[in-house]
Amino acid sequence: MRPWKKLINILFPIAFGALAVACARTDDGARFSVREAAVADGMLSAQLDWRPSEALLDGLDHGIPLVFDIRLSAQAPGKFGLHADLAEQRWRRELRYFPLTRQYQLRDPDMVRGGTQTRSYAVRALVIAALADLRLPLDPALAAASAQRYVLRIDLERDALPGALRLPALIDADWHLSTGNYAWQARSGAR
């Protein structure tokens, strides 16, 4: 056997094992998905199923803000069976815990033009429930789009984490939080 083949036979299992360990998700019941969503009367309503992992809860309880990027696309049929974006809107939501006041906060920086809306909660479960029940106003351009379907995606912004946590968050699966694309057909007259 050639020396380079021997080297590949030795290194490949080691590299694959290291990758599997780095990407392995702990089976602690963590979950983040869209249960249902609708666009009606100029509003996006979405109910999320979110059971945060212990690592996320521990980070939140130690003052690490969790920033979520929320994207909604209005789509129409495109070429080759694909969908084309007619309009897109983004929102950001930030969960924080302030140990001195023992308050959890949900910040909605886009909610009020030129300002930030902040809601405070005394219990962590309430702030998680508030994020899991989204009611967001639509831009007129997105509300007026004649969409065939809508696609909603929510991701944890790992770039918004403190600098010391960014590198571990690249490896640790607990910090790879995304609902993936949740698509549904637009109802005629529901805009």
Provide the pLDDT confidence category of residue 151 given band limits of 50, 70 and 90. very high
CA distance 174 to 169: 8
What the block records as the tokens of 52 is 């945060």
Q: What local confidence, expressed as pLDDT, does residue 114 receive?
A: 53
**Span 125-148, pLDDT tens digits:** 999 999 999 999 988 888 777 888
Q: What are phi and psi of 93, to 5 degrees?
A: -130, 140
**Span 90-114, pLDDT tens digits:** 999 999 999 889 999 999 876 545 5
User: Any alpha helices (H) in the chain, and if so which ranges?
Assistant: 3-23, 54-61, 124-132, 140-144, 163-171
The structural domains of the chain, with segments of one domain joined by +, span: 28-185
Provide the pLDDT confidence category of residue 21 given band limits of 50, 70 and 90. very low
Average pLDDT (169-173) is 84
> Taking a C-beta distance cutoff of 8 angstroms, is the pair 91, 70 a contact?
yes
> How much is the mean pLDDT over the chain?
81
Q: What local confidence, expressed as pLDDT, does residue 79 receive?
A: 77
CB atoms closer than 10 angstroms to residue 80: 4
CA distance 68 to 163: 17
- Residue 178 is given by DSSP the state B
CA distance 81 to 84: 10
